[in-house]
């Protein structure tokens, strides 16, 4: 098709261009911040990542003490 690149693994797949928003909560604060703040953040945070990195980012969030509360596809 006109205007599309067909080189590289991600260009050949629609998955490379899809984005997801991961919402999470409960990350532990860094040790340097414990003197002035609570141990656990209560707010909900979100990051937008490509589908290919979704699993890696979710594992990172859980390792840091967070809880994934939602995953939505971005248009």
Q: Is the pTM of this model over 0.75?
A: no
- Residue 14 C-beta-side C-alpha neighbours within 13 Å: 1
- pLDDT values of the chain reduced to their tens digit, one per residue, 75 residues: 444 444 455 554 555 579 999 999 887 655 565 566 555 556 788 999 999 999 999 999 988 888 999 999 998
Q: Is residue 13 part of a domain?
A: no
Instruction: Output the pLDDT for position 28.
Output: 63
Instruction: Output the pLDDT for position 1.
Output: 41
Residues 34, 60: Cα–Cα separation, whole Å: 21
Task: Give the helix/strand (H/E) hosting 64.
Answer: none
Instruction: Output the pLDDT for position 64.
Output: 85
Q: Is residue 61 part of a domain?
A: yes
- The DSSP symbol for 28 reads B
Q: Is residue 34 part of a domain?
A: yes
Domain that holds residue 54: 18-74
> The domain that contains 45 carries what CATH number?
3.30.1490.170
Q: Is residue 70 part of a domain?
A: yes
């Amino acid at each position: 098709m006109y205007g599309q690149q067909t080189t590289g693994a991600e260009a050949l797949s629609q998955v490379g261009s899809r984005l997801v928003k991961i919402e999470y909560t409960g990350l532990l604060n860094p040790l340097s911040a414990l003197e002035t703040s609570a141990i656990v953040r209560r707010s909900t945070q979100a990051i937008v990542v490509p589908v290919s990195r979704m699993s890696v980012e979710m594992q990172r969030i859980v390792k840091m003490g967070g809880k994934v509360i939602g995953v939505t596809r971005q248009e």
